[in-house]
Amino acid sequence: MVLNQLQSWRDEYPSLGYVAPFVTVLLLLALPKPQALIYWEWPIQVVVVALVCFLTWPKDVTLGPKFWLLSLLIGAATFILWIGPEVINPNYRHGILFSNSLVGHVGSSLREEALKSNSVLFWRTVRASTVVPVAEELFWRAWLMRWLIRTDFRTVALGTYAPAAFWITALMFGAEHGPYWDVGLLTGALWNFWMMRSKSVADCILVHAVTNLLMSLYVIRYGQWQYWQ
């Protein structure tokens, strides 16, 4: 009964499968974080977002990368792009452009006690490298880039280029990353371009997953918690 209803909603609202996982991620981040859930927040997020993805998955999206090696390399290059400015200049992000009331301030959202928990660090990494790439790529490059071209987005092929759609998506993706808006914008443009070339949601998900996994390992290994906003 429930699955039949979901199928009906997917047919009636084709955007559902592309938007629902991303909205779920945002809602879970916005919810208050009780102290009692400090060690359960991240596994709960993984399970809930994964369940939403499973129940609303778009019928026309497959999970087999076509260019896995290039996707791995682009993911690694994006990781270098993100950490590069602060490796070169540790004070780079302390300037007014990256620390103000509009874009926010650099710093981790994790509580001090959470940073000492191997369980929290593990599940935060799992979340960043699995459900987040899926939810974000479905929304940004599989849906928004097409929807901005034509609201009946299913008539627009994946990776179709239109200047306004390309740059609006890149700008919004950059804005999502607050004080890291500059590398967020460059990343959005790079990944939009990769969608244009690969025509593959799965390849964009792989790129995103590699970047987030490398970033998580870097954050944990060197204590660079500011990257976990």
Q: pLDDT of 192-229, one tens digit each?
A: 999 999 999 999 999 999 999 999 999 999 999 999 98
- Report the SS3 class of residue 150: coil
Read off the pLDDT band of 97 (50, 70, 90).
very high
Mean pLDDT across the stretch 70-86?
A: 98
195 vs 191: CA distance, rounded Å: 6
Is the pLDDT at 178 greater than 80? The verdict is: yes
Residues 6+ apart with CB under 8 A from 170: 185, 188, 189, 192
What predicted TM-score, i.e. pTM, was given to this entire model? 0.94
Mean pLDDT across the stretch 46-61?
A: 94
Which amino acid, 199? K
218 vs 220: CA distance, rounded Å: 5
Identify the CA nearest to 176 among candidates 48, 22, 43, 20. Answer: 22
What does pLDDT average to over the chain? 93
Mean pLDDT across the stretch 33-48?
A: 87
